[in-house]
Structure 1
């Protein structure tokens, strides 16, 4: 009878640190349209400006969030902009998202809506 000598104990396979990341920290790309490209769809831009609560709801539901985020959470548009950046692998930062939404919310909402359209999010 032959004996088998074990010289190394089996171990769990190590998972590389970044294997679970969808994109790198900085993102892979820029926004597909500029913040002030509101004339690419004037109708949507006017609707966003005059019916802001409706567009907040629309953006929240398109990103998989509910109306509670759109209407009950402080900083909801910053959260949604960061979520869209994450989904799309877009470069940016939470600070940048906050500043853009704080100083130009209608333009930011239009840009977010255009980006979701380009990504094919229903």
Structure 2
């Protein structure tokens, strides 16, 4: 008589219940006042820190000083929309990056905090 032992490990599962819209508006700086003050007084430093948290090169935003339209701010915003499935257009991203740079970085930082989804183990049994 042979017996068979089957072991199943719990699998990590992410459940995303986020919408396809930004979690906060471009001018909702009062949601995180210290962060917005940091972005207002030292936007290049804030952009570098936010970029690093997003998983990109720390100094990437410093390339924004070479163009009329900040290319890194715009591309980070587009990338974040793609990663989180947020609706929007390249035109709106361009306008936000060009005329509201500090507010755009604040919005992206708030979105990263809001969308930080912890992994929940489902079906784990204590034996």
Structure 1, residues 12-53: CA drift from partner, whole Å, max 9, x if none? Answer: xxxxxxxxxxxxxxxx61101111111111111111000111
Q: In structure 1, how many angstroms separate the alpha carbons of the residues matched to 2:81 and 2:47?
A: 16
Matches within 5 A, 1:50-89: 50-72=41-63, 74=67, 75-89=71-85
The equivalent position to 1:33 in structure 2, one of 9, 19, 24, is: 24
Between the aligned partners of 1:44 and 1:68, the Cα distance in structure 2 is 19
Shift of 1:91: 0.3
Of 25, 35, 47, which aligns to 1:44?
35
TM superposition shift of 1:67: 2.8
Q: Give the count of matched residue pairs.
A: 94
Moved over 3 A (4+): none
In the alignment, structure 2 segments of 5+ residues that lack a partner are 1-18, 118-127
Contact 1:63 1:83 in 2 (8 A): no
Q: For the residues of structure 1 that align with 2:63 and 2:35, how far apart are their CA atoms? A: 24
User: Is the contact made by 1:57 and 1:70 (CA closer than 8 Å) also made in structure 2?
Assistant: yes
Provide the alpha-carbon RMSD of the alignment.
1.7
